[in-house]
Amino acid sequence: MDMLASSQSSPEQLRDRHQALIAAGSRMRMRDAAETLGVAEGVLLAAYVGRTVTALKPAFAEILGAVGSLGRVMALTRNAHCVHERKGVYRNLSFNGGIGLAVDKDIDLRLFMFDWSSAFAQVEPREGGAARSLQFFDSHGEAIHKIHLLSESDVAAFDRLVSEFAAPEQQADLAVTAATSGDGADPAAIPEGFDSGQFRADWDALKDTHDFFPLLKRYGLERLAAFRAAGPARATRVDRLAHRAVLEAARAGELPIMAFVGNRSCIQIHTGPVINLKQMGDWFNVLDPDFNLHLLESGIVETWLVRKPTADGMVTSIELFDAAGRPLLMLFGARKPGIAENLEWRAIAEAAGAAA
């Protein structure tokens, strides 16, 4: 189903329709309210420009570079079925062309900024005080990344940032293009003339996990296609809900992990332990003081155990995908370049394969 790019309603009418939802008792988040109203989330948020929302200049790198002045905040990145929330301070940001990095033990991001299209600051009145955030959207009006202020964040620094980066014209409408759920292509399709033997040899020759994406690109493969072509020694399909046992074992062993969640334009990484795991209906959650993960399990279609060689030895991951072949969540053992993978993590991941 295609996401409607815009509404037949004017911004005023869209606000009225949204307020009617709220008056009827709806406690939907903006993303869900936008879907109910048949618009992209960015379009609904933009309808409040001049009221609770300020449109910002498309100076995305510069805005992110200034976020460190806010102090401790909460970073949020999500896809259709998984939400990753991490508290910390934005440090060590760098940008090279359309690629950006934020590298810190708390806020760890990979930014692919080719389709970053709009940015907004929101000050939303709430009981007990206002909720402040910075929100970034792609050309379809889909959220890329959000930054929420915490009680200890520097509100004066936020106000200065908004003043510095406010767009000259504050327009309450947002032009976006329709985002489709896919073009019908099979994410596991193998290109014509594909040489599986050479592909496996090249896989076995990998020296760094960062070399995997160039390998996929060279062979014209999506991630799922690569796993199926690799053979079970390299990638094994496991139980769809294998994350439950994997995360529970990591919790029980007090084992630090890496949890990657992202979309086309941003990947957010948690490195550390997981402590409070909680199933709430169809949602599997990590509810820790500095890290929250919310995984909608009905969105998981395939889960894989993946083994990639590196100069430091084998690196093992558990990777979850939706019906369109999009990565939802990737789990690794915590490690740094030059250090071998933790054997406890490998045993946990391999146990998921043994149970399949």
216 domain-assigned: yes
Residue 25, pLDDT score:
84
Shared domain check, 320 and 211: yes
Residue 5, pLDDT score:
46
What parts of the chain have a pLDDT lower than 70? 1-8, 180-185, 356
Measured in degrees and rounded to the nearest 5, phi and psi for residue 111 equal -115, 125
Residue 356, pLDDT score:
63
Q: In a 3-state reduction of DSSP, which class is residue 66?
A: helix
Query: What whole-number distance in Å separates Cα of residue 137 and Cα of residue 158?
Result: 19
Residue 180, pLDDT score:
66
227 domain-assigned: yes
Residue 301, pLDDT score:
97
Question: How do beta strands 283-287 and 291-296 pair?
Answer: antiparallel
Shared domain check, 310 and 237: yes
107 domain-assigned: no
Residue 8, pLDDT score:
66
Find tokens 């391999």 and name the residue.
350
Shared domain check, 139 and 253: no
Shared domain check, 337 and 214: yes
Shared domain check, 23 and 128: yes
Q: What is the CATH number of the domain that holds 267?
A: 3.40.1570.10
pLDDT in tens, 55-111: 999 999 999 999 999 999 999 999 999 999 999 999 999 999 999 999 999 999 999
The set of residues, in sequence order, having a beta carbon less than 8 Å from that of 48 and lying 6+ positions away, is 15, 122, 172
Domain extent, residue 132, equals 11-77+117-165
Cβ 83 vs Cβ 294: under 8 Å: yes
Cβ 303 vs Cβ 320: under 8 Å: yes
Shared domain check, 138 and 274: no
- Kindly state the DSSP code that residue 49 receives in the 8-state scheme: B
111 domain-assigned: no
Shared domain check, 247 and 154: no
Alpha-carbon separation of residue 28 from 76, 90, 230, 237 (angstroms) = 17, 29, 42, 35
34 domain-assigned: yes
CB atoms within 10 A of CB 2: 9
Shared domain check, 144 and 251: no
Residue 9, pLDDT score:
79
Shared domain check, 214 and 305: yes
Query: What whole-number distance in Å separates Cα of residue 233 and Cα of residue 217?
Result: 21
Query: Cα 142 from chain centroid?
Result: 12
90 domain-assigned: no
Shared domain check, 284 and 156: no
97 domain-assigned: no
The set of residues, in sequence order, having a beta carbon less than 8 Å from that of 298 and lying 6+ positions away, is 81, 282
Shared domain check, 263 and 327: yes
Measured in degrees and rounded to the nearest 5, phi and psi for residue 153 equal -70, 160
108 domain-assigned: no
Alpha-carbon separation of residue 315 from 125, 226, 244, 309, 332 (angstroms) = 46, 16, 20, 6, 8
Shared domain check, 274 and 135: no
Task: Count structural domains, the chain.
Answer: 2
